[in-house]
């Protein structure tokens, strides 16, 4: 019967812990420290030794309480499944015993962990204060054998802790300079489905009226398991086992990467793309010729008063677009997911096609998606018994990165999909290596509550787990990796155009 004794003790223990108040924090340095006599310093040092000893004892006690809570939780679960609480008086006794004991056990475990953590912090504060007072005691010439005696050097300067040297944040210019020379293609196969006709490959002149980079600033992964078949036959009896449904979600935000850095990276990737086209034997039409072409004058550009941001429906990602300053942003009618043009807004598409006629060149429009997190999910299923979702900080190319190729035609009517070819990245491509730090900024977990309610009601619930994380990037490291993955896709695009 030991489980009964543990369970009976836990409610009182948890209440006692919950009512305890955390002591006031211990300041390392006080404004009145210079007024302290040698005796006052000595007495406070003695008191700090007691506080440190008490904190160590409290740490041990808190850890013991947490362990007892864990044991009580196990005992409550065993008692519930074996019908022990039925002896307390039918259904009421069963529900009271199960819910009250599990809840008390959870509270005791959490409070024990909290008490231990508070004791660790209090010990650190006391040790820091003791170090400061000891330095003052010695600097003033106080005597431990006779602390009541006057200080020998009362005007001596007390050494203060050195201030932390703040590291100035990197400017976009510094980050771009640090990334210079990183535009080298990475090893590894890209899952690029290249759809380039032989007539396109045979054209030696190419014109690039757009070079878009879509930087992912927010992303996330989710999963759900409904355990739809797990509880069949478990509808009666106190000893039944109920499998909970599960829902998990992780959201990620990218920090410390501003638009100036995105713009600079786009300029460098654009220059790298043109260089690789030239190396593939293509003659690239210059900006002056593009601007003078009648077709280019008909392009409908996006508003340039602020960066273009898009959060597509049913997509957890938020995209921030950047283009070279000499090539304002514009979308064609088949850019419906990320662009601002509708499926029937063909004016810009026709204008680019006319530009191909004006310049006698193959029109190329790349869209590079730069992601910052590799997502993992167990998926969504009504019958799965678990749900796992995660997001790992990594710089890479997002699926949907593509290049559109068009042979110039003087379109007077419509523009069909058969008049353009799309080379698309089917699966993401990531580069290994850290580029920043990750911190959880918000979280939610109702697992204990859902289990308690299920114990009370006898019906299946849903366990929700949510975590929101901030990735604080090192701009230099981020820029290096963007240039690496960008050079990789640029080379793949250029290779697909070779004869």
User: Do residue 123 and residue 178 come from a single domain?
Assistant: no
pTM: 0.67
Task: Kindly report each contact of residues 31-35 with a partner whose C-beta sits within 8 Å and lies 24 or more positions away, as own/partner.
Answer: 33/132, 33/133, 33/136, 33/158
User: Do residue 204 and residue 285 come from a single domain?
Assistant: yes
Average pLDDT over residues 459-483: 92
Residues 6+ apart with CB under 8 A from 325: 263, 267
If you average pLDDT over each of 158-162, 164-168, 183-187, which comes out highest?
Answer: 183-187
Flag whether pLDDT at 300 surpasses 80.
Answer: yes
User: Do residue 365 and residue 443 come from a single domain?
Assistant: yes
Between 166 and 387, the more confident residue is: 387
Average pLDDT over residues 472-483: 95
Q: Tell me the DSSP string of 353-375.
A: HHHHHHHTSEEEEEEEEEEEEEE
Residue where one domain finishes, among candidates 115, 139, 163 = 139
For residue 328, how many C-alpha atoms fall within 13 Å in the half-sphere facing its CB? 12
Report if residue 169 sits inside a domain. no
Report if residue 163 sits inside a domain. no
- d(C-alpha 446, C-alpha 105), whole Å: 16
Q: Whole domain around residue 380: which residue ranges?
A: 174-496
Flag whether pLDDT at 306 surpasses 50.
Answer: yes
Q: Tell me the DSSP string of 412-470.
A: SS---GGGEEEEEE-S-EEE-S--EEEEEEEEEE-HHHHHHHHHHH-S--EEEEEEEEE
Q: Is 13 exposed, middle or buried (0-12, 13-18, 19+ CB in 10 A)?
A: buried
Report if residue 102 sits inside a domain. yes
Of 23, 11, 15, 77, nearest to 50 by C-alpha is: 23
CA 334, 340, 346, 349 torsion-angle sign:
negative
User: Do residue 100 and residue 216 come from a single domain?
Assistant: no
Look at residue 240 in the predicted model and tell me its pLDDT: 63
Look at residue 267 in the predicted model and tell me its pLDDT: 97
Report if residue 166 sits inside a domain. no
Pairing of the two strands 318-322 and 212-225: antiparallel
Flag whether pLDDT at 98 surpasses 60.
Answer: no
Q: Please give the span between the terminal C-alpha atoms of the chain, in angstroms, as a whole number.
A: 83
Report if residue 145 sits inside a domain. no
User: Do residue 181 and residue 224 come from a single domain?
Assistant: yes
User: Tokens in use for 124?
Assistant: 């650190």
Between 155 and 223, the more confident residue is: 223
Q: Residues of 318-337 as b/e, b for ≥16 C-beta within 10 angstroms?
A: bbbbbbbeebebbbbbbbee
The count of structural domains within the chain is: 2
User: Do residue 49 and residue 184 come from a single domain?
Assistant: no
Report if residue 207 sits inside a domain. yes
User: Do residue 61 and residue 130 come from a single domain?
Assistant: yes
User: Do residue 197 and residue 133 come from a single domain?
Assistant: no
User: Do residue 83 and residue 230 come from a single domain?
Assistant: no
pLDDT per position as a tens digit, 215-244 = 999 999 999 988 778 777 655 555 567 888
User: Do residue 68 and residue 178 come from a single domain?
Assistant: no
Average pLDDT score, the chain: 82
pLDDT per position as a tens digit, 349-376 = 999 999 999 999 999 999 999 999 999 9
Find tokens 């008390």 and name the residue.
Answer: 104
User: Do residue 182 and residue 121 come from a single domain?
Assistant: no
Report if residue 152 sits inside a domain. no
User: Do residue 229 and residue 106 come from a single domain?
Assistant: no
Report if residue 150 sits inside a domain. no
């Amino acid at each position: 019967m030991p489980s009964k004794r543990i369970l009976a003790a836990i409610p009182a223990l948890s209440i006692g812990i919950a009512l305890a108040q955390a002591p006031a924090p211990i300041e390392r340095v006080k404004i009145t420290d210079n007024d302290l006599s040698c005796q006052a310093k000595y007495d406070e040092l003695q008191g700090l030794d007691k506080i440190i000893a008490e904190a160590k004892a409290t740490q041990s006690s808190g850890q013991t309480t947490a362990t007892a809570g864990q044991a009580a939780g196990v005992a409550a679960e065993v008692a519930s499944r074996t019908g022990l609480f039925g002896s307390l008086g039918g259904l009421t006794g069963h529900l009271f015993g199960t819910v009250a004991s599990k809840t008390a056990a959870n509270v005791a475990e959490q409070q024990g962990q909290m008490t231990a953590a508070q004791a660790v912090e209090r010990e650190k504060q006391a040790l820091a204060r003791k170090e400061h007072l000891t330095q003052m005691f010695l600097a003033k010439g106080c005597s431990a054998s006779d602390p009541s005696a006057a200080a020998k050097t009362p005007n001596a300067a007390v050494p203060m802790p050195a201030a932390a040297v703040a590291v100035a944040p990197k400017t976009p210019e510094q980050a771009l300079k640090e990334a210079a020379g990183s535009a080298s293609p990475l090893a590894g196969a890209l899952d690029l489905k290249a759809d380039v006709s032989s007539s396109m490959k045979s054209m030696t002149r190419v014109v690039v009226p757009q070079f878009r980079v879509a930087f992912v600033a927010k992303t996330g992964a989710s999963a759900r398991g409904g355990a739809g078949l797990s509880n069949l036959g478990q509808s009666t009896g106190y000893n039944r086992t109920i499998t909970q449904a599960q829902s998990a979600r992780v959201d990620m935000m990218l920090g410390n990467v501003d638009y100036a850095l995105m713009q600079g990276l786009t300029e460098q990737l654009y220059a790298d793309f043109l260089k690789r086209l030239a190396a593939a034997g293509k003659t690239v039409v210059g900006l002056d010729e593009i601007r003078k072409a009648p077709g280019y004058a008909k392009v409908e550009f996006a508003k340039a008063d602020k960066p273009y941001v898009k959060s597509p429906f049913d997509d957890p990602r938020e995209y921030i677009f950047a283009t070279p300053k000499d090539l304002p942003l514009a979308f064609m009618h088949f850019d419906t997911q990320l662009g601002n043009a509708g499926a029937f807004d063909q004016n810009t598409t026709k204008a680019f096609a006319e530009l191909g006629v004006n310049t006698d060149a193959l029109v190329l429009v790349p869209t590079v998606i730069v992601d910052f997190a590799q997502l993992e999910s167990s998926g969504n299923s009504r019958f799965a018994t678990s749900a796992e979702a995660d997001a790992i900080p990594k710089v890479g190319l997002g699926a949907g990165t593509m290049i559109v190729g068009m042979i110039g035609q003087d379109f007077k009517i419509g523009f069909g999909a058969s008049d353009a070819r799309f080379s698309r990245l089917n699966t993401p491509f990531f580069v290994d290596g850290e580029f920043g730090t990750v911190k959880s900024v918000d979280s939610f977990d109702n697992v204990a509550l859902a289990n308690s309610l299920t114990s009370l009601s006898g019906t299946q619930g849903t366990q929700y787990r949510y975590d929101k994380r901030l990735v604080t990037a090192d701009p230099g490291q981020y820029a290096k990796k963007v240039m690496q993955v960008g050079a990789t896709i640029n080379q793949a695009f250029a290779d697909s155009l070779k004869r």
